[in-house]
């Protein structure tokens, strides 16, 4: 491979050509400070194109140099063809640090659209370098992270949102990405809860034939999101419950009535009546908690009274007759 080292004037670098740029975010204050204090500890790589130089590796370093008013920088000038240069940029970056999801998405997008590389090749040759298994089906998921606006990308990056949550946004309309990103970053739900929230929004929208945006604009949801008193975990649970009630109105109403009837029984806290799963089966269970024989005796006495109670019979009938 032909290459040489030279001091290059920054004005001779075409910073608008970002073919080989991989790093996200595009600038980093820490690099700027480092260059200001120590200069170039690692030399950028460039190649000539149309009478100018374009950056293959070290984009952020050279941008930082420009910002610190340096006029030139030492660079390795290579004669690699574009595809080899891109491969080099990928391998060079990936060998120095774990690339974030937005960088990976950008690499995949460039391999496909700029270099016309098939997904099977991307999977087998590039995914392992990027720290992923060589699975073709993974490519679409990774590519998805490149679809956000710069602002959305920045929020997701700054908040350190996990890959799984970012990917979950694929299942919703891009018109509510901002709202969903707000849910992720402000409420910080776990991956499973967030996936459930997304699924519920999706299903309600499909069943009611309304947009996902309209689902989120419903009063039940807005009142939760606008509530300033609730903590983030409380808001997450309220949001999920509100969506569950909207998704399963009959079940929610039935459950609500059941709980009211259960409350009327005034069961001692040591007794727990468990209804059949989903009110589907016929068998109830009663759990008794006790620490000594006396407590057990008292609970058994209460159970005897319970079976005689009119409200208890009503509760059983209520569940049995739901058909």
Partner 1 sequence: MFYPEQIIIEEPALQLPYTKKLVNKFKDVPTKVICEIKDTKKILFENFTGKKIFLITDYKGNLIKKCPGSRGVICCNYYVANIINGCPFACTYCILQDYINCGSVMICANIDRFFDELKKLQRDNFTLRVGTGELADSLAFDTYLDLSSELIPRLKDYPNVVLELKTKSACIENVLKYDAKEQVVLGWSLNPQELIDSDEKYSASLEERLKSAKKAVDAGFKTSFHFDPVILIHCWEQKYKDVVDKIFDFVPADMIAWISIGGLRFTPALKKIYRRDFPESRILSYGEFTMSEDGKYRYFRPIRFDMYKKMVGFIKNHGTDIPVYFCMESSRMWKDVMGSLPSGKKELGLTFNPYPAFKLEIENDA
Query: Are 6 and 43 spatial neighbours (Cβ–Cβ below 8 Å)?
Result: no
Q: Which is nearer to partner 1, 178 or 203 (CB)?
A: 203
Closest distance of CB 102 from partner 1, Å: 23
Q: Which lies closer to partner 1 via its Cβ, residue 50 or residue 209?
A: 209
Q: Toward partner 1, which CB reaches closer, 170 or 297?
A: 170
Task: List residues near partner 1 by CB under 8 A.
Answer: 171, 199, 202-204, 206-207, 209, 247-251, 254, 277-282, 322-323
User: Shortest approach of partner 1 to residue 15 CB, angstroms?
Assistant: 40
CB of 118 to partner 1, least distance (A): 14
Kindly tell me the burial class for residue 81, based on how many C-beta atoms sit within 10 Å of its own C-beta (0-12, 13-18, 19 or more).
Answer: exposed
For partner 1, the closer of residues 152 and 248 by Cβ is 248
Q: Are 33 and 7 in contact (CB under 8 A)?
A: no
**Whose CA is closest to 90, among 114, 69, 71?**
114
76 vs 252, beta carbon nearer partner 1: 252
Minimum distance from CB of 116 to partner 1 (Å)?
Answer: 21
CB 88 within 8 A of CB 45: yes
| Phi, psi at 47, each rounded to 5° | -140, 160
CB of 294 to partner 1, least distance (A): 36
Smallest gap from Cβ 204 to partner 1, in A, equals 8
CA distances from 267 to 174, 261, 300, 311 (A): 49, 11, 12, 11
Question: Which residue number, 69 or 283, has a Cβ lying nearer to partner 1?
Answer: 283
CB neighbours of residue 180 within 10 Å: 23
3-state secondary structure of 123: helix
């Amino acid at each position: 491979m032909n290459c040489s080292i030279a001091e290059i004037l920054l004005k001779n670098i075409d910073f608008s050509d970002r073919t080989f740029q991989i790093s996200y975010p595009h600038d980093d204050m820490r690099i700027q400070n480092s260059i200001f204090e120590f200069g170039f500890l690692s030399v950028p790589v460039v190649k000539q194109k149309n009478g100018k130089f374009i950056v293959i590796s070290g984009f952020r370093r050279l941008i930082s140099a420009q910002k610190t008013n340096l006029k030139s920088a030492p660079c390795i000038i290579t004669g690699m063809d574009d595809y080899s240069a891109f491969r080099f940029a990928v391998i060079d970056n990936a060998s120095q640090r774990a690339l974030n999801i937005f960088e990976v998405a950008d690499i995949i997008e460039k391999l496909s659209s700029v270099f016309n590389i098939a997904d099977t090749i991307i999977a087998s040759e590039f995914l392992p370098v990027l720290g992923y298994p060589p699975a073709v089906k993974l490519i679409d998921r990774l590519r998805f992270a490149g679809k956000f606006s710069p602002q959305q990308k920045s929020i997701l990056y700054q908040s350190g949102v996990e890959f799984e949550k970012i990917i979950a946004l694929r299942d919703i309309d891009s018109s509510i990405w901002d709202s969903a990103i707000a849910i992720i970053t402000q409420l910080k739900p776990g991956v499973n809860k967030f996936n459930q929230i997304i699924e519920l929004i999706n299903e309600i929208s499909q069943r009611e034939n309304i947009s996902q945006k309209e689902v989120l604009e419903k009063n039940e949801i807005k009142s939760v999101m606008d509530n300033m008193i609730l903590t983030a975990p409380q808001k997450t649970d309220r949001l999920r419950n509100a969506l569950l009630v909207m998704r399963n109105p009959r079940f929610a109403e039935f459950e609500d009535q059941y709980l009211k009837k259960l409350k009327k029984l005034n069961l001692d806290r040591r007794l727990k009546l468990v209804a059949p799963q989903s009110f589907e089966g016929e068998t109830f269970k009663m759990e008794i908690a006790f620490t000594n024989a006396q407590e057990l005796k008292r609970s058994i006495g209460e159970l005897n009274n319970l079976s005689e109670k009119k409200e208890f019979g009503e509760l059983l009938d209520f569940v049995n007759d739901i058909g």
